[in-house]
C-alpha cells in the first residue's frame, strides 16, 4: 500500500473489538485506529505505538451526526458494535435499534463520506438454529439452511447482514463503490470472555462440579478471540487489496481449537485454571425445560417484588442442544488467513486471565465489578 490508512472500529472497547484494535495498531500500513463505542474506555489508547495512533470517541450508533463526525477522514470501517444478548435481558426493540439501525447508520455514513470498505462482524446466530431446531453438521459458507432463526439476537444479526449484503456495490459520489464483507463469529473464548468468569463462579458455588446441557454428540465451533480479531484485520486489508474477490462474501471464523464439543472446551479451560474443577454429568433437556417454565411462573407471580438474575430461556436452551457446526478454509483461500495463536497459546492466555479474574472475585478487598 502506498500510504498510511485510517481505520475506524465500532465497538472497539468490546470483547472482540478491543482485540481488533490491538492487532490493527501493530500494522505498519495504518496510521490511526479510531474507536467509536458507547462505553469508550480510555485504556484502549494504550495500544498507541510510534507509528499508529489510537483515539476514542464515545457515542451511540443511533446518533447519526456524531457517528458521521467520527467517520470523517476514515478509509476502512470494521463494524463490530452490537448488543449481544442471548438471555433476552434487553428488549427486542432496543437490540434491533442498535444491531440493525446502527448498522444502517454506519452504511449510510460510508456512502455520505465516500468510505469504500466495510467489514461487518456478524454471528453464527444469524444463520441458525431455526425454530424447528434443525441441525447443521459441519457445513460451510455455501451450505443451504432456511427457516426462522430461533434467537432474538440472531434475528437482529440476520437483518443487519441483509443490509450489509444489499449495500455491497453501491455507488459512491466520488465514482467509487462500497465494498463489504461479513465475518460470522461463533462461540468466542479468551481474555475478558465474561461467560467463562460467570461459569467459573457458578461451578465453584457447586463444589467444583461442571455439569452441562448439550448432549455429548452435539457439535458447535469454538474460536479464540485473538484469531477472530486477526481474521478481521486480514479481511479488512485484503478488502482493499483485492476487493473483487472479497466483495459480498461471508466468512466463518475458525482456528485449531481441538474439539467442537463445547463442554469439553469449557472444562479444559476451567480445570487448567483450577484443577479442582471436575466434569460432571449431562442435564437432561426435560429437566431444564421444567426449570425454565417454573422460573417463568414464579417470576410472574412475584413481580415486581422479585427480580431474579437472568435465567436460561427456551430459545437459548434449544440453541445449546442443537448441533450447529461448520468446517471451512474459505478465509485461508481468499486472503491467506492462518490462526495467529495456536490452541496452546490460546488456552494459556485464557487460563492466565481466568486465574487473575478468579483471584479478583475471591479478594475481600476489591469491590464487586458491575457488568
pLDDT confidence of residue 214 = 96
What is the C-alpha separation between 112 and 6, in angstroms, rounded? 17
pLDDT tens by residue, 45-66: 999 999 999 999 999 999 999 9
What is the C-alpha separation between 218 and 137, in angstroms, rounded? 9
pLDDT confidence of residue 358 = 78
Catalytic residue among 153, 189, 200, 326: 153
**Whether 128 contacts 136, CB under 8 Å:** yes
- What is the crossing angle of helices 343-362 and 194-204, to 10°? 60
Domains of the chain and CATH, by start:
5-189+222-258+325-341 (3.40.50.720)
**Whether 164 contacts 182, CB under 8 Å:** yes
- Cβ-Cβ contacts under 8 Å for 66 (sequence gap 6 or more): 57, 59, 60
Catalytic (active site) residue 153: yes
**Whether 154 contacts 126, CB under 8 Å:** yes
- For each successive 10 residues of the chain (371 residues), what is the average pLDDT? 84 97 97 95 93 96 97 98 92 96 98 97 97 96 95 97 98 94 97 92 94 96 98 98 97 96 96 96 96 88 76 93 97 98 97 86 42 33
Provide the whole-model pTM.
0.93
What is the C-alpha separation between 102 and 268, in angstroms, rounded? 37
Reported for 45-49, long-range contacts at CB under 8 A and 24+ positions apart, including other chains, are: 47/21, 47/22, 49/25
Amino acid at each position: 500500500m502506498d500510504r498510511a490508512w485510517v481505520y475506524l472500529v465500532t465497538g472497539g472497547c468490546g470483547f472482540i473489538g478491543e482485540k481488533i484494535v490491538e492487532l490493527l495498531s501493530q500494522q505498519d500500513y495504518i496510521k490511526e485506529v479510531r474507536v467509536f463505542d458507547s462505553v469508550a474506555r480510555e485504556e484502549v489508547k494504550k495500544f498507541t505505538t510510534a507509528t499508529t495512533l489510537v483515539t476514542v470517541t464515545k457515542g451511540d450508533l443511533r446518533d447519526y451526526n456524531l457517528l458521521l463526525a467520527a467517520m470523517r477522514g476514515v478509509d476502512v470501517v470494521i463494524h463490530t458494535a452490537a448488543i449481544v444478548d442471548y438471555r433476552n435481558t434487553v428488549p427486542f426493540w432496543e437490540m434491533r435499534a442498535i444491531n440493525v439501525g446502527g448498522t444502517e447508520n454506519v452504511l449510510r455514513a460510508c456512502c455520505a463520506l465516500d468510505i469504500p470498505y466495510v467489514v461487518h462482524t456478524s454471528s453464527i446466530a444469524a444463520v441458525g438454529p431455526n425454530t424447528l431446531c434443525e441441525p447443521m453438521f459441519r457445513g460451510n459458507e455455501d451450505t443451504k439452511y432456511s427457516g426462522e432463526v430461533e434467537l432474538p439476537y440472531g434475528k437482529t444479526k440476520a437483518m443487519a447482514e441483509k443490509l450489509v449484503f444489499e449495500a455491497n456495490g453501491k455507488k459512491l459520489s466520488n465514482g467509487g463503490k462500497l465494498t463489504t464483507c461479513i465475518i460470522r463469529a461463533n462461540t468466542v473464548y479468551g481474555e475478558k470472555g465474561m461467560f467463562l468468569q460467570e461459569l467459573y463462579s457458578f461451578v465453584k458455588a457447586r463444589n467444583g462440579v461442571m455439569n452441562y446441557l448439550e448432549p455429548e454428540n452435539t457439535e458447535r465451533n469454538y474460536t479464540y478471540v485473538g484469531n477472530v480479531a486477526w481474521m478481521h484485520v486480514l479481511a479488512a486489508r485484503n478488502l482493499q487489496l483485492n476487493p473483487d474477490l472479497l466483495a459480498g462474501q461471508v466468512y466463518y471464523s475458525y482456528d485449531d481449537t481441538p474439539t467442537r464439543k463445547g463442554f469439553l472446551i469449557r472444562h479444559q479451560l476451567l480445570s487448567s485454571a483450577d484443577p479442582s474443577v471436575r466434569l460432571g454429568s449431562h442435564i437432561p433437556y426435560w429437566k431444564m425445560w421444567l426449570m425454565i417454565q417454573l422460573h417463568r411462573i414464579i417470576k410472574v407471580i412475584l413481580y415486581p417484588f422479585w427480580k431474579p438474575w437472568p435465567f436460561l430461556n427456551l430459545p437459548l436452551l434449544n440453541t445449546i442442544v442443537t448441533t450447529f457446526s461448520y468446517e471451512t478454509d474459505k478465509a485461508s483461500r481468499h486472503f491467506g488467513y492462518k490462526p495467529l495463536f495456536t490452541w496452546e497459546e490460546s488456552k494459556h492466555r485464557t487460563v492466565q486471565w481466568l486465574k487473575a479474574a478468579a483471584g479478583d472475585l475471591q479478594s475481600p478487598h476489591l469491590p464487586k465489578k458491575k457488568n
